[in-house]
Structure 1
Amino acid sequence: MTTTGEDHVPARGGPWWWDRRRGAVLDVGLAVVSAFECAAEGVPFARDAGIPWAAGVVFGLLAGSVLVVRRKWPIAVVLVAIAVTPAQMGFLMGIVGLYTLAASELPRRIIGSLAGMSLLGTFIVMFVRVRQDMARDDLDLGDWFVPFASITASLGVTAPPVLLGMYVGARRRLMESLRERADSLERELQLLAERAEERAEWARNEERTRIAREMHDVVAHRVSLMVVHAAALQAVARKDPEKAVKNAALVGDMGRQALTELREMLGVLRSGGESGPRERPSVPLAAVGVAAAAAASRAAEDEGRAEGPCLSELDELIGQSAAAGMVVALSVEGEERSYAREVEQTAFRVVQEALTNVHKHAAGAKTYVRLAHRVSEIAMQVENEPPPEVSSASSARLPSGGNGLVGMKERVTALGGVFVSGPTDAGGFRVSAVIPAS
């Protein structure tokens, strides 16, 4: 993993315009060497110019020391080097100045213009000096030698530092671009990790809600019927033993069905994991979030593949409520057909929970279950009349957690349907739901 962009910014520990003390020491050292070089070259310049040698030395020291500002003002260093070229001094200053100028972020036209000026100045000085030397020593090497020597010397002094500086500058810019890209990728990975963690947390919350809803649907209805039958069994145990035996058998059936559905649900929950502890691998945060989201997705797929209730079991569901003493009337409209597994499960659970609520809050009330198969949707409605004041199951005292209607609404709206519930004008209660067929 790379560090962030702020970590790549060098700490400004040097004086003035230097970022680091090492750069300041290097520039000062180069300036000292250049000053001594120019001072030594200032002696013959002063002699040829007819001025005191001390003035030439001072001029050379001042000119050579300009190299100390090469990082801040590279143009000034190159201009000074070009200006002292006729005095045949500033060799080191010219090379270092051109290198610094070519490696800087200045526009290419400025770098090219100054490099051309330095090349032209060096060529003129070398041309004049070579001719003077040949004339003084009375050498005759041909007319081609003077321009050839001048061009070669000027190119040798100008081209290498310029090309090296351009290479170093391009490499530096490439490294900065790669570093910025790495920092950008790091930030993107952090964002992806945070989003993956958020998705994983959302998936965990959804899974907890789904499990709670399934547990409520499975347990509430079966156990409610068991409690109703147990209350009826207690009431008729001595008066009607045959009916008591029948109710006891129904209670057993309800319990076995509830256990079967609970085992199926636990099987789905266990199918996504592996038994036995194992060492936890070391993985990045993004991989953990993505793996958690994938596990939640696999659990959702397992849920869809698992066996569940469907509309064909609706008659059995109503028969169980009728066996518990409820008067239930079922009416079906439209042509019956098969739907997606999620649609049939949701429709079944809505009717199941509505009947459970009737057992809890309106025991003994007559109930109407209506199912309508439409072109692009399926509609269901469960409505009960006001409960009688005295009911054989009133002593059951069924508890209510208040989650039944919430769970039904969550199921229906998750499939893009509409859910409405509320009391009727006659004093009963109505639950209605419409679910898209696809």
Structure 2
Amino acid sequence: MTTTGEVAGKGERGVPEGPWWWAGRRSMWFDVVLAAASAGECAVEGVFFADGAGIPAVLGAVLGLVAGSTLLLRRRWAIAVVLVSVAVAPAEMGFLLGIVSLYTLAATDTPRRIVAALAGASVTATLVMTFVGFQRDMRHDGYAPPLWVVGLVAVLMSLGLTAPPVLFGLYVGARRRLVDSLRERADGLQRELVLLADRAEERAEWARNEERTRIAREMHDVVAHRVSLMVVHAAALQAVAAKDPGRASRNAGLIGDLGREALTELREMLGVLRSADRPAMTVPPVPLPAQAEAAEAAAPDASGTAGAEPPSLADVEALVAESRAAGMTVELAVEGERSRYAPGVEQAAYRVVQEALTNVHKHASGASTQVRLACRDDELAVLVVNGPGALGSSDVRLPSGGNGLVGMRERVKALHGGFVAGPTDAGGFRVSALLPDRIRLQVP
């Protein structure tokens, strides 16, 4: 049986805030006033009972005080208080005690069979007391009503004293349990919202980190290749400035062209980052695996939006031509039917070739290089192999941050492809990437 201390309410963690079993001091003082009123009533009724029973009035008053004072325990031991009210009912005392104790019992989580049994006992005790008392009073006044009248009055009085507090207590208890359940649901929803907010914050932080990584990768790809070619042409210009003015002039023009191209690409990228029309970054919903793969394969990098066309396979020839103009021996071969792949796939292939050629300029100046593109039905393969650097080649002193291979691997892995890079037996270096394409369109 659940104690009735749970009925009046509890503190935040289920611990009463008031003394002993009371939820608060207001509840305690309310019960003290009720118990005092009940004790006074029972004491007066006990005096009348003692007078009729032929016992000392003091004993009857003391009995009434003790019985009425048990109402102070109604929130802790409601069943015991109801039993006391039933026990003193034949003595015609405990009117307030019986009503309040029945209400308190019905409003608790006490099993309904126990509530029904105690309510039945109270009805029976009140019925017997009313029947006997009413019949005695009528005879004392010289009136002898029919038995059915006495019985009807006794039934109505016993039900009138018992049914209302029980029914009202059941209603209050049900309402309180409903409020508690709604409060628990609200607390549960609040906890879920807090967890969702934490997860959204984590996803936002992850998105910010991914955006920073993507911007750094784009900046590296845009700047490193152009600047590497500029440094190579500058070294060549320095070497031939005095011997071949015409070649020096051409190299100076190439340096200017490369610088302008690098500035143009940087402006386009900064325009994307500063665009006022670009919506604020929000945390996207978690897509299904199939949707995520299709979206990653279909969507180009954000650097290709806002009016800037992303590089494609058609731009690889111009990329190779730039390296040839810088003095590198580059062979380009395309196997299979040239097809149109998803923009993200073509951009990744272009960036892999670009970074591989940049690494050749940095670490193997003068080395012969082969670029192979294999166009297949559902994938695009890229292979860039260079030999060892040429002996006596000029040292252009290009710095390396070690992020080129990392960026290439990240691009390929984002498309669920494969990436391998490492030295060859001949002393060169090889970079290969396999880029799957799930939504490729054939060129008409």
Seen in structure 2, the aligned counterparts of structure 1 residues 292 and 437 have a Cα distance that, compared at 3 Å, is: closer
Residue 135 of structure 1 is aligned with which of 124, 134, 139? Answer: 139
Aligned residues: 415
Residue 261 of structure 1 is aligned with which of 259, 265, 268? Answer: 265
Amino acid at match of 1:412: V
Note the 1:216-231 alignment, pairs <5 A.
Answer: 216-231=220-235
The 10-residue stretch of structure 1 (161-170 or 378-387) with the greater mean CA deviation from structure 2? 161-170
* Structure 2 counterpart SS, 1:84: helix
> Residue 3 of structure 2 aligns with which residue?
none
- Kept after mapping to 2: 8 A contact 1:98/1:158: yes
Residue 340 of structure 1 is aligned with which of 342, 349, 367? Answer: 342
* Structure 2 counterpart SS, 1:244: helix
> Residue 283 of structure 2 aligns with which residue?
293
Amino acid at match of 1:368: Q
Give yes or no for the alignment of 1:84 onto 2:84. no
> Residue 407 of structure 1 aligns with which residue?
407
Q: TM-score by structure 1 length?
A: 0.90
The 10-residue stretch of structure 1 (100-109 or 40-49) with the greater mean CA deviation from structure 2? 40-49
Amino acid at match of 1:326: M
Instruction: Compute the displacement of 1:359 (Å).
Output: 0.4
- Kept after mapping to 2: 8 A contact 1:34/1:93: yes
Could you report, residue by residue, the CA deviation over 1:176-219 in whole angstroms, capped at 9, with x for unpaired residues?
A: 22221221122111111111111111111100000000000000
The 10-residue stretch of structure 1 (217-226 or 300-309) with the greater mean CA deviation from structure 2? 300-309
* Structure 2 counterpart SS, 1:422: strand
Residue 320 of structure 1 is aligned with which of 319, 322, 325? Answer: 322
Instruction: Compute the displacement of 1:9 (Å).
Output: 4.1
* Structure 1 counterpart SS, 2:388: coil
Instruction: Compute the displacement of 1:307 (Å).
Output: 1.6
In 2, Cα distance between equivalents of 1:334 and 1:269? 38
Residue 198 of structure 2 is aligned with which of 190, 194, 214? Answer: 194
> Residue 251 of structure 1 aligns with which residue?
255
- Kept after mapping to 1: 8 A contact 2:421/2:432: yes
Could you report, residue by residue, the CA deviation over 1:266-324 in whole angstroms, capped at 9, with x for unpaired residues?
A: 1211226689xxxxxxxxxxxxxx964259x9x98744534211001111110110010
Note the 1:100-249 alignment, pairs <5 A.
Answer: 100-139=104-143, 142-249=146-253
- Kept after mapping to 2: 8 A contact 1:264/1:307: no
Amino acid at match of 2:127: F
Could you report, residue by residue, the CA deviation over 1:25-70 in whole angstroms, capped at 9, with x for unpaired residues?
A: 2222222221111111112211222222222112111111111111
In 2, Cα distance between equivalents of 1:308 and 1:139? 111
Equivalent pairs: percent with the same residue? 63
Structure 1 alignment gaps of length 5 or more: 1-5, 276-289
- Kept after mapping to 2: 8 A contact 1:377/1:437: yes
The 10-residue stretch of structure 1 (180-189 or 411-420) with the greater mean CA deviation from structure 2? 180-189
Q: TM-score by structure 2 length?
A: 0.88
Seen in structure 2, the aligned counterparts of structure 1 residues 104 and 301 have a Cα distance that, compared at 3 Å, is: farther
In 2, Cα distance between equivalents of 1:367 and 1:235? 23
> Residue 365 of structure 1 aligns with which residue?
367
In 2, Cα distance between equivalents of 1:301 and 1:410? 13
Give yes or no for the alignment of 1:22 onto 2:23. no
* Structure 1 counterpart SS, 2:360: helix
Q: What do you get for the CA RMSD once the two structures are aligned? A: 2.3
In 2, Cα distance between equivalents of 1:56 and 1:11? 39
* Structure 2 counterpart SS, 1:419: strand
In 1, Cα distance between equivalents of 2:14 and 2:363? 74
